[in-house]
Amino acid sequence: MPRISNTALPGYFVTRRTLMASAMGVAASFTLDLHAKAAQSPAFAHWVAAFRSRALKRGISEQTYDRVMGALTPDTSVFEQYRAQPEFTELMWQYINRRCSGWRVITGKERAKEHAGLLARVEKDYGVDRYILLGLWGMESSFGDVVTNPKYMRPVIPALAALAWGEPRRRAYWEAELLNALAIVDRGWAQPSDMIGSWAGAMGHTQWMPEVWLHMGVDYDHDGRASPFGKPDDSFAGTARYLVERGKYRRGEAWGCEVALAASHARLANNRTTRSYAKWGELGVRRADGAAFARPSDQVKLWLPVAGGPAFLVGQNFRAVHSYNPSTSYTLALCHLGDLIRGDPPFRQQFPGGERMPTLEEVKEIQRRLNEHGFKTDGIDGRTGSDTIRAILAYQKKVGMEPADGYAGLKLLARLRQGA
Helices 62-69/171-187 angle, 10° precision: 110
What b/e string do you get for 337-356 counting C-beta neighbours within 10 Å, with b at 16 or more? bbbbbbeeebbeeebeebbe
* pLDDT at residue 141 greater than cutoff 90: yes
Band of pLDDT at residue 12, cut at 50, 70 and 90 = very low
pLDDT at 225: 95
pLDDT at 3: 41
Domain 360-419: assigned CATH number: 1.10.101
Please name every residue paired with 12 in a beta bridge, in sequence order, or none if there are none.
Answer: 9
Count of alpha carbons within 13 Å of 251, Cβ hemisphere only? 8
Cα angle 199, 131, 5; round to 5: 35
Band of pLDDT at residue 230, cut at 50, 70 and 90 = very high
Give backbone dihedrals phi and psi of 44, rounded to 5 degrees, phi first.
-70, -45
Phi-psi region of 410 (alpha: psi -120 to 50; beta: other; left: phi over 0): alpha
Phi-psi region of 290 (alpha: psi -120 to 50; beta: other; left: phi over 0): left
Instruction: Determine the straight-line distance between the first and last CA of the chain, rounded to whole angstroms.
Output: 35
The one-character DSSP state at 208 is B
pLDDT tens, residue by residue, 259-276: 999 888 899 999 999 999
Q: What is the dihedral of CA 146, 152, 158, 163, to 10 degrees?
A: -120
The whole model's pTM is what?
A: 0.89
* pLDDT at residue 8 greater than cutoff 70: no
pLDDT at 88: 53
pLDDT at 80: 80
Q: What is the dihedral of CA 385, 390, 395, 397, to 10 degrees?
A: 140
Band of pLDDT at residue 169, cut at 50, 70 and 90 = confident
User: Which residue ranges make up each domain of the chain?
Assistant: 360-419
pLDDT at 24: 40
